[in-house]
Amino acid sequence: MEIFILYKAILVLVVFAISLGVAAYSTYGERKVAAFMQDRVGPDRAGPFGMLQPLADGLKMFMKEEIIPTVSNKFLFVLGPSLAMLTALMTGVVIPWGGDITIGNMVFPLQITDINIGILYIFGVVSFGVYGIMIGGWASNNKYSMLGALRASSQMISYEIAMGLAIVALVMTTGTLSLREIVTQQSGNWVNFIYQPLGCLIFIICAFAETNRAPFDLPECETELVGGYHTEYSSMKLGFYLFAEYINMFISSAIIMSLYFGGYNLPFQNYIAPYIDGNILSILQFGCFFTKVLFGIFFFMWIRWTIPRFRYDQLMNLGWKVLIPLAIFNILITGVLMYALGKV
């Protein structure tokens, strides 16, 4: 029992540390990618290739003066970024990071917890994530923050529907809501992207909208709203919002990879697996998953520095008039095909 608790605690700490580390280096990666796309050099002063830039940024965030507007509700003003950070970190719990590690006769799966409603849990946490932005934007007592918060909430609610409908089609084909089972089904088999290309596309678009990333970063678009919902924030509270966005990006990339692109499975795993020891295979799987996730993050940045921002009415039209009907159509097609192929 003690070993079990110790193992869970270590796993939680490792996932926590990895999320924060990846988020910190995503800021560096983002600036490097942007520089590459715009034919610049990017950060190169702090350390070799500017590798220490995230540390310098973090230090700057901590050192800055902390300003709390006098007219705002102080408790809610602090609660906003904390909630954003909390919900960003909570999602990593159900993601399977790799296969099992066997030490002696004990088996340790590389997943914090495998609940049988894993996807719904993620939805619950994501749907709660909007409160961090709404409360922060409201407590700032600033019209730009307020507008950003209103935009964020309506955007996230609208895209959640399409996201849920895209998942329904996936669940119809897999028959389970447990993320580990979905990943296991894809080993030595076609990945789910082959069965659900339309659903995957809808899910990725909605993931962009849910994480407030470009081209859907209207809640914080600086050309219209100064800084959006975090206009009034400074020092580490601003850092929390920015960090939460990068963690969300990491987690949603991990979810996309687990649901649609085979998760931690190696390519051609069935041919390799018999020749390799189980533990080494698990570590390889973790490495493979991590590579996939890093590519996902790169994809997020690639889109951001390529596609211009949507206008707000275009965003709403895309969500309600294109994605939701397409997602329903996708469910219909999936049902008909499953019935025709006798899979029901």
Partner 1 sequence: MLLSQYIFLFLSFVAIISALMLVLDKNPVHSVLYLIITFFAIAGHYLLLNAQFLAVVHIIVYAGAIMVLFLYVIMMLNLNKDIEPHKKNIPKVAAAVAAGLLLLSLTALVNGAEVNMLPAARNSNIGLMDNLGKTLFKEYMLPFEISSILFLSAMVGAVFLSKKEIH
Query: In the block, which residue shows the tokens 């920015």?
Result: 242
Residue among 128, 271, 329, 339 that touches partner 1 (CB under 8 A)? 128
**Closer to partner 1 at the Cβ: 244 or 266?**
244
Structure tokens, 217:
């970063």
189 sits near partner 1 (criterion: CB under 8 A): no
Residues 136 to 175: which contact partner 1 by CB under 8 A?
A: 138, 146, 149-150, 153-154, 156-157, 160
State how far the Cα of 342 lies from the Cα of 299, in Å rounded to an integer. Answer: 37
Query: Count of CB atoms within 10 A of residue 171's CB?
Result: 16
Q: Which 3-state string (H, E, C) describes 96-147?
A: CCCCEEEECCEEEECCCCCCCCHHHHHHHHHHHCHHHHHHHHHHCCCHHHHH
In the complex with partner 1, the residue whose CB is nearer, 35 or 146, is 146
> Which one, 55 or 322, has the nearer CB to partner 1?
322
**Does the protein bind partner 1 through residue 314 (CB under 8 A)?**
no
Q: How far is the CB of 158 from partner 1 (least distance, A)?
A: 11
Q: Which stretch binds partner 1 (CB under 8 A): 16-24, 122-130, 187-195, 308-316?
A: 122-130
Closer CB to partner 1, residue 56 or residue 76? 76
Q: What minimum distance in Å lies between the beta carbon of 302 and partner 1?
A: 30
Q: How many residues bind partner 1 (CB under 8 A)?
A: 25
- Residue closer to partner 1 by CB (options 229, 261) is 229
Please tell me what DSSP assigns to residue 321.
Answer: I
Does residue 130 belong to the site contacting partner 1 (CB under 8 A)?
yes
Nearer to partner 1, 12 or 115 (CB): 115
d(CA 95, CA 80): 25
151-164: string of b/e by CB count within 10 Å (b at 16+)?
bbbbbbebbbebbb
Q: Could you give the angle at the alpha carbon of 315 between the alpha carbons of 156 and 205, nearest 5°?
A: 65
Minimum CB separation from partner 1 for residue 116, in Å? 7
* Residue 127 found at the interface with partner 1 (CB under 8 A): yes
* Burial bucket for residue 338 (CB in 10 Å: 0-12, 13-18, 19+): middle
Out of 134, 214, 242, 324, the only residue in the binding site for partner 1 (CB under 8 A) is 134
CA distance 141 to 133: 13
Nearer to partner 1, 81 or 239 (CB): 81
Can you state the percent helix, strand and coil of the chain, rounding each to 5? 70, 0, 25
Query: Shortest approach of partner 1 to residue 50 CB, angstroms?
Result: 40
Per rule CB under 8 A, is residue 131 in the interface with partner 1? Answer: yes
Are residues 223 and 148 in contact, defined by beta-carbon separation less than 8 angstroms? no
**Shortest Å, Cβ 290 to partner 1:** 28
Question: What residues line the site for partner 1 (CB under 8 A)?
Answer: 76, 115-117, 120-121, 123-124, 126-128, 130-131, 134-135, 138, 146, 149-150, 153-154, 156-157, 160, 177
